[in-house]
A and B are shown apart, each in its own frame.
Chain A
Amino acid sequence: MIGNKKAGTLFTVIMSLGLAAGCGNSANDPAKPKDSNDQVTLRMVESMTSPKRTELLKGMLAEFEKQNPNIKVELVSPPYDQADNKIRTMLLAKQKLDVIEARDLNVAEYVNNGYLLQLDDYLAGWKDAGTFSSIPKSVGSVSNKLYFIANGLYERQMFYRKDWFDEKGLKAPTTYQEMVDTAKKITDPSKNRYGFSFRGGAGSNGITDNIILAYNAINVNLEDSMFLKNGKTIYSTPEAQQAMEKYKELYKEASPPDSINWGFQEQVQAFTSGVTGILLQDPDVIQSLQEKMKEGTWATAPMPVGPSGKALIAAGGAGWGIASYSTHKDEAWKLIAFLSSPEENTVFTKNYGLVPIHSSAANDEFFKSGPYKTLLDMTNKPDTFLNYKPPFQYAGAGQWGNVSTESQQAFLFDKTTTADLLKTWDAYWVDQKSKIKK
């Protein structure tokens, strides 16, 4: 609907010229000499938008402006669905932006294209650096250089229907094997009740990769998690075969048939509306559960482990970085430091359902009880729950979700065998590896 063909080609030409010449930097006015009385306006863009979170952020920004009368902050809040696409385009056009919410999954893209400022120098001079944990630091880093300060972490855990489990005398499963068995016991299609909130649509690789990692356990190279310590991909092992067969069993015998094409939202809706009994999700889902379900009907448990008694856990997150072309970098850092202080971060993570980024927050009663406790328990058992770094540094990581989802759906429809499926996946990552070595 948009656009005129001729104009379209013209603009394409303009754009490629702009790229080739490295120009188009309308925001790159020569920096003015700094004067403490100068009124500075920062522009900040968020990515994980929700109306409530925007309200929360605005409150925090108002406090910051009160403390720093010479700085004003304009917050841009694009809808979650379109946010990253918009931010990417704004950065490409060098539209005025100072503080950017980058995500674990796109930070490598931003860094590759030189959009983000490296923050290590600022970090060194940060008064709260002492309590800043190593995990959020690693989430915000590319090749060991820090590019964003996470505003909280998410980590997958298990949510289950406590009332259904109690009714049948079941306990929260601890291994994938147990999880499949328990889920089967709850499943009763005649009542439209299923054991597991499956997600075969967008983001399905969250489950498949997790189960394969757990089955490969200690053999995985934690820094380069699509590969084993011996350099082969995680999909090349007999353990991966077992894992995928378990996975198929989970879908066929304990999940709603419709879930083969469900994404995040359907998966959660099915759990909140009482169709499914077990959900593996991030803590930012807690708010939704609290709003829509009765207290006491659900509880949390750690992620299931593989046959060797271990599971691999990754922390994800989004956070604040500085645009490389920002003209007010110091003020931008001041804002980030404010938002990331233990006090502000605790408020933010409590309200939005994330794990705080400062080690000091672990003493907070709030995170020691209720649904967050499980996450803390998992963190306290680093030998059982090994922390790994997701493969976001590969160019193909963005496309991987799609490749994985489609072939996995064909597999669940019995159109491909386990061996063929794993061969496709193995080939994909071998290819990725060869590209990065160039």
Chain B
Amino acid sequence: MRLSILGIGKKISLLLYLVFMIFPLYWIVVTSLKPQDEIFSYPIKYWPVHLTFQNYVSIFKISKFHIYIANSLLIATLSALIVLAISLLGAYVLARFQFRGHKQVLISFFLTQMLPGFISLAPLYLLMSHLHLINTRVSLIVMYTVSLIPFSTIILRGFFQRIPVSLEEAATIDGCTRFSALWRIIIPVMLPGIGSTFIFAFIQNWNELFTAVMFVDDESLKTLPVAMNSFVMKFDIDWGAMSAGTVLSVFPTVFLFILAQKFIVQGLTQGAEKG
């Protein structure tokens, strides 16, 4: 009896929690399907009276959403991959080797996280301007990659440390080189960590607004958040277009979560078998 009350309580709180998490999404989706005059009508309508896809049509026709999505995908993916490659090696070194300045590197990584980003934007702009990189995709990839490496390295280092050195030693005895041991034994075991770091880096890039606004001018180079930010005008937020854009921008990341889930779990079992 006591147990079932506990169970009901648990279910209710879980339900409340889900409502809290999912309601805003519901609200955005519903808004994106409403015609202009229903979005702000009072009393509030929880379901569109006249269902329309006009908002979706207009963000592709008036704003060039296909271009922005392509840019965002390209920049976010490339930068996340570079981040992963560099931080994996960096984290491995930091986790497995003791060397002079080891501590300092780690401390400086934490330090980089402490500088509020806004203040460095103007100086960085000047630097990029001297390098003639303003208004290029490369500038964003460089900026994003640099800003994400410290975090990714710290996180991946944690995952490396959790893997017993004995696993690696066993592999080396079996005739693997250090690098192939890393590649064939350690990486598969670490896939959950790698996967989540990739997702993290990707999403961080996917969402980034301020740098993207600053460093890119041309319509053909703009990213998704910049395009969405333009729906905020002096007196008005175009919530129809904004919510349609939001739904589309969340889509790839949700897809990535689902994909990563399968990938990570598979990787995990494979790694365990080999180990």
Interface positions of A from 1 to 56, Cβ below 8 Å from B: 1-8, 11-12, 14-15, 18, 24, 26, 45, 48-52, 55
- In the bound complex, residues from chain A placing their C-beta under 8 Å from that of B119 are 8
B235 touches A192 (CB 8 A): no
- Counting CB contacts under 8 A, is A92 at the interface? yes
A2 touches B147 (CB 8 A): yes
Number of interface residues of A (CB under 8 A): 53
B235 touches A82 (CB 8 A): no
A26 touches B115 (CB 8 A): no
- Counting CB contacts under 8 A, is B1 at the interface? no
B219 touches A264 (CB 8 A): no
Of the listed residues B130, B132, B204, the one surrounded by the most CB atoms of chain A closer than 10 A to its CB is: B130
B235 touches A93 (CB 8 A): no
Interface size class, chain B: 35 or more
- Counting CB contacts under 8 A, is B85 at the interface? no
B230 touches A272 (CB 8 A): no
Residue of A nearest to B37 (CB): A292
Residue of A nearest to B40 (CB): A273
Known: A2-B211, A5-B114, A273-B42. A79 touches B226 (CB 8 A): yes
- Counting CB contacts under 8 A, is A180 at the interface? no
- Counting CB contacts under 8 A, is B164 at the interface? no
- Counting CB contacts under 8 A, is A268 at the interface? yes
A1 touches B112 (CB 8 A): no
- In the bound complex, residues from chain A placing their C-beta under 8 Å from that of B108 are 5-6
Interface positions of B from 92 to 138, Cβ below 8 Å from A: 108, 111-112, 114-115, 117-127, 129-130, 132, 134
Interface positions of B from 194 to 216, Cβ below 8 Å from A: 204, 208-211, 213-214
- Counting CB contacts under 8 A, is A76 at the interface? yes
Known: A3-B147, A8-B123. A50 touches B234 (CB 8 A): yes
- Counting CB contacts under 8 A, is B63 at the interface? yes
Interchain nearest-CB distance for A100 vs B (Å): 13
Known: A15-B126, A77-B219, A274-B42. A7 touches B235 (CB 8 A): no
Of the listed residues A26, A89, A273, A291, the one surrounded by the most CB atoms of chain B closer than 10 A to its CB is: A89
Query: How far is A48 from B234 in the complex, measured between Cα atoms in Å?
Result: 7
Interchain nearest-CB distance for A75 vs B (Å): 8
B42 touches A51 (CB 8 A): no
Which of A130-138, A235-243, A281-289, A398-406 sits within the interface? A281-289
- In the bound complex, residues from chain A placing their C-beta under 8 Å from that of B134 are 93, 95
A1 touches B147 (CB 8 A): yes
- Counting CB contacts under 8 A, is A86 at the interface? yes
Query: How far is A404 from B44 in the complex, measured between Cα atoms in Å?
Result: 34
- Counting CB contacts under 8 A, is A364 at the interface? no
B120 touches A14 (CB 8 A): no
Query: How far is A383 from B112 in the complex, measured between Cα atoms in Å?
Result: 60
Query: How far is A86 from B130 in the complex, measured between Cα atoms in Å?
Result: 17
A92 touches B37 (CB 8 A): no
Residue of A nearest to B204 (CB): A1
Interchain nearest-CB distance for A229 vs B (Å): 34
B115 touches A3 (CB 8 A): yes
Query: How far is A80 from B210 in the complex, measured between Cα atoms in Å?
Result: 13
- In the bound complex, residues from chain A placing their C-beta under 8 Å from that of B237 are 265
Interchain nearest-CB distance for A201 vs B (Å): 14
Query: How far is A434 from B89 in the complex, measured between Cα atoms in Å?
Result: 60
A192 touches B42 (CB 8 A): yes
Question: Scoring B residues 228 to 255 as 1 if CB is less than 8 Å from chain A, else 0, what string do you get?
Answer: 0111111111100100000000000000
Interchain nearest-CB distance for B80 vs A (Å): 14
Query: How far is A174 from B249 in the complex, measured between Cα atoms in Å?
Result: 48
Query: How far is A265 from B235 in the complex, measured between Cα atoms in Å?
Result: 5
B123 touches A50 (CB 8 A): no
Query: How far is A288 from B209 in the complex, measured between Cα atoms in Å?
Result: 26
- In the bound complex, residues from chain B placing their C-beta under 8 Å from that of A285 are 235-236
- In the bound complex, residues from chain B placing their C-beta under 8 Å from that of A269 are 40
Interface positions of A from 122 to 160, Cβ below 8 Å from B: none
A4 touches B234 (CB 8 A): no
- Counting CB contacts under 8 A, is B143 at the interface? yes
Q: In the complex, which of the residues B36, B122, B208 contacts A15, with contact meaning CB atoms closer than 8 Å?
A: B122
B37 touches A14 (CB 8 A): no
Residue of A nearest to B232 (CB): A81
Known: A26-B129, A82-B210, A95-B129. A11 touches B230 (CB 8 A): no
- In the bound complex, residues from chain A placing their C-beta under 8 Å from that of B115 are 3-5, 8
A275 touches B123 (CB 8 A): no
Residue of A nearest to B237 (CB): A265
- Counting CB contacts under 8 A, is A391 at the interface? no
- Counting CB contacts under 8 A, is A206 at the interface? no
Known: A2-B211, A5-B112, A292-B40. A80 touches B234 (CB 8 A): yes
- In the bound complex, residues from chain B placing their C-beta under 8 Å from that of A8 are 115, 119-120, 123-124
Residue of A nearest to B231 (CB): A51
B122 touches A268 (CB 8 A): no
- In the bound complex, residues from chain A placing their C-beta under 8 Å from that of B208 are 1
Question: Scoring A residues 76 to 99 as 1 if CB is less than 8 Å from chain B, else 0, what string do you get?
Answer: 111111100110010011110000
Interface positions of B from 1 to 59, Cβ below 8 Å from A: 36-37, 40-42
- What are 18 A-B interface contacts by the 8 Å CB criterion? A1-B147, A1-B204, A2-B117, A2-B120, A2-B124, A3-B121, A5-B108, A12-B120, A14-B123, A14-B130, A78-B217, A79-B213, A92-B122, A93-B126, A264-B234, A273-B41, A288-B236, A291-B36
Task: Across the A-B interface, give the 8 residue pairs with the lowest CB-CB distance, nearest first.
Answer: A11-B123, A2-B117, A79-B229, A3-B120, A273-B40, A93-B129, A79-B230, A50-B233
Further contacts, 14 of them, CB under 8 A, given A50-B230, A269-B40: A1-B147, A2-B120, A3-B115, A5-B115, A8-B124, A11-B124, A11-B127, A50-B233, A51-B62, A85-B214, A86-B214, A265-B235, A273-B40, A281-B235
